[in-house]
Structure 1
Amino acid sequence: MRPPSACVACRDRRKRCHRPRRGTSCTFCIARGLQCTVEQTPGAARPRGYEPLVSPGGNPGGNSALMPDRDLCNELVDLYFRYIHVTFHNLFHRPSFEHGLRDGSIPKILVFAVFGLSARFSSHPSFAGVDPRERGRPYAKEAERLLDLHKTCLTTIQACVLLGAVQVAEMDSATESIFYTIACRLAMILDLPNAPAETRLEQEVNLRVWWSVVTTDTWSSTAMGLPRAIQPRHDIPMPMDERVFLALTSADPPVSQQGRDAVVSPRSELSTSLIAQMIKLNGILYDINTFNTQLVSGILQELGARDAVTKLSAALDAWRSELPTDMEYTRDNLLYWAGRGCGASFVVLHLNYNHSSQLLFYSFLHSSLALDHHHDDASTTPTSAYAAKCKSHAASLCEIMYAAAAAADAPAAVEVLYPLAGHMLVVASTVHLHALLFSADDAEIALAKARLEHNFGIITRLQTYWPSLHASFSRLAAFHRACLDDKSNNDNLNDDAGGGGTFRLDRWMLRFLLDFAKPVGERDRRGREVRHRLPPT
């Protein structure tokens, strides 16, 4: 059996080159931050990759009958990068993907997985009469058939993330978690951020896929109530500026580990990269979700909870204050980023910020009612101030969604139509429902009612594309019924906490806030789930 090839560093020191698995950096290079470069010997065996879209002989391989014609292929790829890429994950370099589609070199599994997500948005005549939610299913099934877990490579990771996103749409959270966990394990096995790469573009794609896996796992594991499958690492640099990334070509040579650390330091890239800002914000979101979970479980007592909220609120404020001027939320900045093909990234960044904030302050909606009922100066208390912040961020989240949908004069589409946006709107809608039920301000009540109606229309539209939005509707309906029951039974101001018991942060409410892919059952007076009730589709 041929001995494993040694990297240049280990060969020069005449030591054995040990790497956990073929294709990964060796332990010596990882420990010292070196670029692990293996000199391939003539005739060295390479692992067989996935089947390309077009075989070397020029013929389409695999299930060619399922492959759309050229025009539809181009449309579906464009729709993927318009509505899916970045909102779900950040797996590809668009110019390279489109080049691979043209010359047939891109793995077929990735093409089918992409179509499985984007076909729902197509208006192509071949989909006439087919429910948008069903158009991508044949492609997704073919991608799942092509998946080979024996192929330990970047393509398998990308395919698993794409197929996990398909399962999010289909409300199959168990299978979603399995796909994402496989992607996490493979990324760790390959030590993806440090994996050998032949070009700078390949290095950056590896880095972005790594951070996409980390970010996706944060949302998925939280929703499932499971430990993280992958831990963020502080020794991994942030992604580069999106504008620079899109301009990379396969002719750009790779940089050494030392060179990459110098060029792509975490601090400098946070000031220029939308994706890097999302990654930093994602870390705060994870801490907020942990805080709410600990609050419900009783791990945090009152004093500890106050300290935690103060620290997390300060972290969000610091993140917001450190944004460069061109990343602050303004209409001019929205148009600026749209003109550079990053409008959706900009919108998602600010949606995530406001959603993280409304989650942090959500528990104060309930406790603020007691203060309002018993204290004339309640508006000056920290509890009431936090409740006001929750309402403010819920309002901002909605206004950003409305502006993105209405930006017809933007250089490129910035409307976001991904399932998680529906969940964010559901949470924001319950905040507006709080104002509708308990505010004494007629103007605030009228505005809350208008936002609820607008949100209902957006969620209805999202439901035409994503089966999982059926769960979002059922969750909002369950919450509304709980509010009505609470109002009927207690007049909303007579329970021990001062009324509005529906907004109390208990296990039912925690699941409502975090587990976005499933319906929730009815809630009894003790905050227990008593049954599931789904409205008709």
Structure 2
Amino acid sequence: MKVAKACKQCRTSKRKCSLMEGRGSCAPCAQRKLQCSLASQTGRESSRLHRPILPQKADSTASTSGDLDDISSEVCDDLVDLYLRLIHDKPHTLFHPRTIRERIQRGTAPKGIVYCIMALGGRFSRDSQIVARVPEFSSKARSLVKANIDDISLESIQATILLGNIIGADGDHDAASLFFGEAFRGVLVALEYSNFHVGVAIKTAQILHLPDRSADDDAIEMETKLRTWWTLYMIDNWASAGLGLPRQFPTSTPYPAPMWEKHFYDLHPGEVVNDRHLAKPDLWAHMLTLTRIFGQVQDLHRNHVAGKLTDFDVDAATQNLADELDLYARELPLEIQLNRETLAQHARIGLGQAFVALHLGYHHYATLLYFHYLNLDLEQTATVKKFASQCKHHAVAYSDLLRASTEQKGCEAVYFIVSHMTVVSSAVLLHTLLFGHESDLPLTRERLARNFQVLISLRKYWPAVAVMIDRLSTFQNMCMWSVDPNTHRVDNWTVKFLLEHALPIEDKNIEVTTLVIDNVRLTERRGFAQRALSTLFSNHTT
């Protein structure tokens, strides 16, 4: 029998294996930061390197061996890399990248998490056979996570968040709400304990310390808990809006923002947090500031259509939030302000997608804030005109950034919620197509076409994008055929369109016109818009 001279990792991936003298590891494994099977498994340093994020339970849920035998380690690595590059740190931030990679490679990561990651990353694989297996990965992930739904642990929360993203993007919003709800249930157990008087110590034996650190937490574990908690904060704002439900988290919290991504990525097991780590906030810290404003924008729209606010109240609240957004933009560090140089710089350091996500969110929240002022029935005061102009500015800026993200390598915005934000931007562009200056029409039509191209592209990865396109089609039809020329008045139906992205939107109960109305200019413009959009929507139905 021939004795294998290559390590297990190199044999599996069919790489040339060469042992590095004095390192106890081969060169390929050292380069890929893998634990080489040739290396000694003894010693204190090795023990610290392989300490899991959380202690593993006695049952078999932590092992990935057996079920993934038909997926090579190289393919699994590729799917994990796709997930970490294209999805992680955009709609959620849950893992220390190097740690989750190593745990999956060693077979110590929970199987539910592994299948969720494969189901998310597999959508972007260039291998059609892997793409075809994504429903299988999703189904396996669902069964594994559901089987452990009563487990109150950090890993259980991470798994339910991942599965909620999968299910929602596949169009099963009721099930997604259930899984997000289970994740909230887990964190609320921790919040119940963390609200005790500061002098009361939290026992290390409690089921969960999230986001509070335990005595034996290293920097990776502490930051992972914090990021998972902030992910839930973000989800609470987006999911509550999408489902038309009240938020469960308070607007302000006592917990610090996450550290800069690059500092987090460079942490090693056993390392402790120091002032250097905390000196620079990360992109998610800025996202969270915007998320808090987003919650207030939701409240403003809902209170407005419920008749709880006068026009004066709406103007005052809008101005206050506009001031917050302006202050936010002014206080962004120069290296995080959006321009071609900063976009390229973030792409070079591997943060291009997260950087784009931050600025897409900024323009989306601003578009939502000002949308009410597209209402043509409002008295066209200087304030109304200013806010309407701001709405159009941010919708245009969103569309232009979306285009730039497709042209700059490493900046692609391909996570699911981009589809809803793109629909809202398109609804504002449609207003310009109907009522804007003649000189604005060519560029507006071009931006709408680009938005549609993005939606069609996203539909390849996320089935529920088809529902988003249908929502825009419904909005367009309302604009085209309503006898009321004021197409963008904010009412209950419009708020549902703007916010409740996880719910289907029905046709608006309108009096229909055949475009034979007194306003000749509007009739002509509607015909122009109809022709401009018909080709785009025909691509959706083919």
Name the TM-score, length of structure 2 as normaliser. Answer: 0.77
Aligned length: 442
Give the match's secondary structure for 1:389.
helix
Distance 1:225 1:49 in 2: 39
**2:161: which partner in 1?**
161
C-alpha distance 526-164 of structure 1, shift in aligned 2 (>3 A):
farther
Matched to 2:433, the amino acid is L
Distance 1:154 1:50 in 2: 17
Distance 1:47 1:98 in 2: 20
Q: 1:249 aligns with which of 256, 268, 272?
A: 268
**1:330: which partner in 2?**
339
**1:99: which partner in 2?**
102
Task: Report if the CA contact (8 A) 1:80-1:117 is conserved.
Answer: yes
Listed as ranges, the matches of 1:306-317 within 5 Å are 306-317=315-326
Q: 1:193 aligns with which of 208, 211, 218?
A: 211
**1:14: which partner in 2?**
none
5+ residue gaps in structure 1?
1-44, 55-59, 372-377, 493-499, 528-533
| Deviations, residues 139-164 of structure 1 (Å, cap 9, x unaligned) | 12212222212322111000000010
Distance 1:125 1:447 in 2: 36
Give the match's secondary structure for 1:431.
helix
Shift >4 Å, 4+ stretches? 262-265, 534-537
2:329 matched to 1:320?
Answer: yes
Matched to 2:461, the amino acid is Y
Q: 1:123 aligns with which of 126, 129, 147?
A: 126
C-alpha distance 125-507 of structure 1, shift in aligned 2 (>3 A):
closer
| Deviations, residues 371-429 of structure 1 (Å, cap 9, x unaligned) | 5xxxxxx5x61001100000000000011110010114xxxx21111221111111111
2:117 matched to 1:114?
Answer: yes
| Deviations, residues 321-349 of structure 1 (Å, cap 9, x unaligned) | 11000000011111111222211110000
C-alpha distance 144-382 of structure 1, shift in aligned 2 (>3 A):
same
Matched to 2:140, the amino acid is E
Q: 2:450 aligns with which of 451, 454, 459?
A: 454
Distance 1:71 1:53 in 2: 18
5+ residue gaps in structure 2?
1-54, 190-207, 513-537
Report the CA distance between 1:442 and its aligned residue: 2.1
Give the match's secondary structure for 1:504.
coil
- Over the aligned positions, Cα root-mean-square deviation in angstroms equals 2.4
| Deviations, residues 446-495 of structure 1 (Å, cap 9, x unaligned) | 11111111111111111111111111111111111111112xx24x2xxx
Distance 1:388 1:279 in 2: 26
Matched to 1:510, the amino acid is V
**1:294: which partner in 2?**
303
Matched to 2:467, the amino acid is A
Distance 1:46 1:333 in 2: 42
Q: 2:439 aligns with which of 438, 443, 450?
A: 443
**2:141: which partner in 1?**
143
Distance 1:126 1:72 in 2: 11
**1:522: which partner in 2?**
507
Distance 1:477 1:312 in 2: 30
Distance 2:245 2:125 in 1: 35
Matched to 1:142, the amino acid is K
**1:4: which partner in 2?**
none
Distance 1:314 1:125 in 2: 49
Name the TM-score, length of structure 1 as normaliser. Answer: 0.78
Matched to 1:141, the amino acid is S
Matched to 2:499, the amino acid is L
Task: Report if the CA contact (8 A) 2:243-2:501 is conserved.
Answer: no
Distance 1:455 1:536 in 2: 16
Give the match's secondary structure for 1:449.
helix
Mean Cα deviation higher: 206-215 or 451-460: 451-460
Mean Cα deviation higher: 337-346 or 101-110: 101-110
Task: Report if the CA contact (8 A) 2:243-2:500 is conserved.
Answer: yes
Listed as ranges, the matches of 1:334-413 within 5 Å are 334-367=343-376, 371=379, 378=380, 381-408=382-409, 413=410
Matched to 1:188, the amino acid is L
Q: 2:91 aligns with which of 88, 91, 107?
A: 88
Task: Report if the CA contact (8 A) 1:149-1:156 is conserved.
Answer: yes
Distance 2:493 2:120 in 1: 31
**2:494: which partner in 1?**
509
Listed as ranges, the matches of 1:203-214 within 5 Å are 203-214=222-233
**1:18: which partner in 2?**
none
